[in-house]
Structure 1
Amino acid sequence: MGYYTQAARDVWTLLIELQPQTGDSGGGISRDEYISQVARDIQSKLPEVFDLDVIRKKLGLEISPTSVVLLQELERFNKLTLRMIRSLAELQRALAGEVGMSSELDEVARALFNGQIPVIWRKLAPDTLKSLGNWMIHFKRRHEQYSSWVDEGEPCVMWLSGLHIPESYLTALVQATCRKNGWPLDHSTLYTQVTHYRSEDEVKERPGQGCFVSGLYLEGADWDIEKGCLVRSKPRVLVSQLPILKIIPIEARRLKLQNTLRTPVYTTSMRRNAMGVGLVFEADLFTTKHISHWVLQGVMYGGRAIDSFDRRILTVYMDEYLGDFIFDTFQPFHFFHSDSGGGISRDEYISQVARDIQSKLPEVFDLDVIHKKWGLEISPTSVYCYESWNALTNSPSG
């Protein structure tokens, strides 16, 4: 399903890019007027940049690891905001004929006309697959979380999707906990628990250690909040929202998990690239089913299956050769089916392989004949060849 969804998204993207870029936009106004309206609407929603000097003075000299993350996030957010302000102002002047339309401004205009995020903005923003309208809603909510963090302190529930680099915040949590408890940093890790909170408003205070995070979604599964475990997705529901997640730093030696699926958390539904960029962390989700069941559902994504198409092939193959028993039991399994697909049993198949190998085995060398052929004067290389072959043929494995 993920393969077809992505294919449909790509087709619509190409169709939008192929639409006429000149003439009326269909609303009685010209293309330039439409772009100018969109630019003015975005300009009216852009916030002022954060004053980092004032915020640093407010935090004081003893800055916690999470406060360092806040300053880094605000710096990146300021760069994006300034780039948007500058490019939109230049675009308005270019549309008015005051300055020339450069290739960069032309790309911005085309993106605004198509409802997409301009490339020069995308380079300074977190990875996203959103359209321009949804991305602006996301942008506004990011600013609200940063403002609340600056004015009221670290939020009780961190909206993880609103951070530019969410893994840096999780690393800061581990550092702060290690400093507090005197743990070695390289021997510490993260453990997660799915809470019974469905929304951020239900959480009234921060946990003693770790944090609550929101903004996570499950693909290929659903979460039963009453039983507290992974369940099958509902019909026609591809993605479901995960309840508030509690992330707890812990010493690695104390972490012992059973019936738990280590589920990767990615920034977007495109998961990660070959370099691993896109993976944030791994969440621990309780399950009553065999882990291989969720592997086939695409909840945990690994091995050499690198896209949705490969995952569909993997699902069909393993279902054919492993059968249904793998989904309902925790017993060990072997990658062999009682019927190999050719109408023969397992023993007959092994016998065929053995006969095929036997037919390809050569005869052994007659060392006595070879020794007489070489005569009494044998070169060092011939002696080495003779001893090596003698040792090979007389070895237990030979």
Structure 2
Amino acid sequence: VFGLHSNALITAQINQAKKLLEAIVSVQPQLSAGDGGLAPEEIVSNMVSEFTSRMPDVISTANRHELSFAKEESGRTISLGVFLAQEIDRFNLLVGVVKASLAALAKAIKGLIVMSSDLEEMFNSFLIQRVPAKWTAVAYPCLKPLNSWVSDFIQRVDFMNSWAHDGPPTSFWLPAFFFPQGFMTAGMQMHARAHKIPIDSLMFETNVLTYPTPDDLPEPPETGVNIHGLFLQGAGWDLDGACLQESAAAVLFIPLPVISLRPVLCADVEDNGSKYSCPLYKTSVRAGTLSTTGHSTNFIMYLSVNRSSEAAAHWVRRGVASLCMLDD
């Protein structure tokens, strides 16, 4: 009736189930040790030990790769190098907070220090696989449960370490960043400075490549940047036709191939009506607030993708959007 895909019902049912489970968890009594079961303190203590053993060190800038922090002719660090340094600072702050809070919780469970309100909230969050508020306060937007959040966090730190010490990659894992909008601006600024063009006269031309993963890329682009790690919701992707297609039944998300972002002059871009402006979000919430920088806390940009023979309004009704990460 409303032009929705059959998958929309699945999404609605998943959302209803999540709300029901959250309501059940909110009224559940605290766990207690049953017959042969572990006490809550033992469960959380085991989780703390596991997370502590897996937690990475802060990202060092010693022995950094010269190309990652290359200098311009003027002597300034390239824009992507400045962005990388800012991201490293954010990650190091988060690593420090996570490590310190894990150590404090371990001591509190053993009775060596007082269980403060923050540590109690952290303890209860661990029991229901929720990321502690103390972590989310200094972290990036993420809806993953605790175990998945920790694994994702470690992968992000590994990527930043690799970029800093092994040099710029052929494709950048966009979901790894705290501030993807800053990455976009840095990439645009490098092109603007190299060609002495006002940055506000440029925009990114989107080209979804035929390479499913960055490992298939032969070399980095001469102009612009490649990004990967995005997911498409509400539609499928025809790799041969390089355009949107209807979602397969019961397939809610698909990984997008590597995407090329090439700076071009706004005046040179012609809109022939064959594109769909696909919004890109950090999380599946698809909503955010404006930060002090004027950027949304969730929306990143529009990706102009080929839309096949269907009108753009068709894909709007489908709710087609791209995401940096899934919720699991």
TM-score > 0.5 by shorter chain: yes
Q: Which residue is 2:113 aligned to?
A: 99
1:52–1:75 Cα contact (<8 Å) kept:
no
Residue 273 of structure 1, CA deviation: 2.8
Greater shift, 15-24 or 52-61, is seen at: 52-61
2:236–2:245 Cα contact (<8 Å) kept:
yes
1:83–1:121 Cα contact (<8 Å) kept:
yes
Structure 2-normalised TM-score? 0.87
2:306 to 277, 286, 291: 286
Residue 52 of structure 1, CA deviation: 4.2
1:35 to 24, 33, 44: 44
Task: Give the SS at the match of 1:81.
Answer: helix
Residues 300 and 152 (structure 1 numbering): CA distance in 2 closer, same or farther, change over 3 Å? closer
Residue 231 of structure 1, CA deviation: 0.5
Task: Give the SS at the match of 1:47.
Answer: coil
The count of residues paired between Structure 1 and Structure 2 equals 301
Residue-by-residue CA offset, 1:11-32 (whole Å, 9 max, x unaligned): 2223234333241277622110
Residues 56 and 83 (structure 1 numbering): CA distance in 2 closer, same or farther, change over 3 Å? farther
Give the whole-Å Cα distance in 2 for the aligned partners of 1:252 and 1:158.
24
Give the whole-Å Cα distance in 2 for the aligned partners of 1:27 and 1:273.
45
1:160–1:215 Cα contact (<8 Å) kept:
yes
Higher relative contact order (CA 8 A, sep 6+): 2
Which structure has the bigger radius of gyration? Answer: 1
User: Which amino acid is 1:298 matched to?
Assistant: G
Task: Give the SS at the match of 1:129.
Answer: coil
User: Which amino acid is 1:264 matched to?
Assistant: P
Give the whole-Å Cα distance in 2 for the aligned partners of 1:105 and 1:262.
44
Give the whole-Å Cα distance in 2 for the aligned partners of 1:27 and 1:206.
56
1:234 aligns with 2:254: no
Residue 261 of structure 1, CA deviation: 0.5
Residue 250 of structure 1, CA deviation: 1.1
CA RMSD of aligned residues (A): 2.0
1:216–1:241 Cα contact (<8 Å) kept:
yes
Q: Which residue is 2:141 aligned to?
A: 127
User: Which amino acid is 1:268 matched to?
Assistant: T
- Please list, as runs of the form range in 1=range in 2, the aligned pairs for 1:90-169 lying within 5 A after superposition: 90-169=104-183
- Please list, as runs of the form range in 1=range in 2, the aligned pairs for 1:377-392 lying within 5 A after superposition: none
1:270 to 274, 280, 285: 285
Give the whole-Å Cα distance in 1 for the aligned partners of 2:267 and 2:36.
64
Query: Any stretches of 5+ residues in structure 2 without a counterpart?
Result: 1-7, 291-295, 323-328
- Please list, as runs of the form range in 1=range in 2, the aligned pairs for 1:49-60 lying within 5 A after superposition: 49-52=58-61, 55=64, 59=69
2:212–2:258 Cα contact (<8 Å) kept:
yes
User: Which amino acid is 1:242 matched to?
Assistant: L
Residue-by-residue CA offset, 1:68-105 (whole Å, 9 max, x unaligned): 11111110001111001111111111111111111100
2:289–2:298 Cα contact (<8 Å) kept:
no
Query: Any stretches of 5+ residues in structure 1 without a counterpart?
Result: 302-398
Structure 1-normalised TM-score? 0.72
1:244 aligns with 2:244: no
1:17–1:114 Cα contact (<8 Å) kept:
no
After TM superposition, what 4+ stretches of structure 1 lie above 6 angstroms from structure 2? none
User: Which amino acid is 2:288 matched to?
Assistant: N
2:209–2:259 Cα contact (<8 Å) kept:
yes
Residues 27 and 64 (structure 1 numbering): CA distance in 2 closer, same or farther, change over 3 Å? farther
Residue 55 of structure 1, CA deviation: 4.8
- Please list, as runs of the form range in 1=range in 2, the aligned pairs for 1:217-232 lying within 5 A after superposition: 217-232=231-246
Residue 204 of structure 1, CA deviation: 2.7
Residues 143 and 273 (structure 1 numbering): CA distance in 2 closer, same or farther, change over 3 Å? closer
Residue-by-residue CA offset, 1:91-121 (whole Å, 9 max, x unaligned): 1111111111111000000111111110110
Give the whole-Å Cα distance in 2 for the aligned partners of 1:174 and 1:267.
20
Residues 70 and 26 (structure 1 numbering): CA distance in 2 closer, same or farther, change over 3 Å? farther
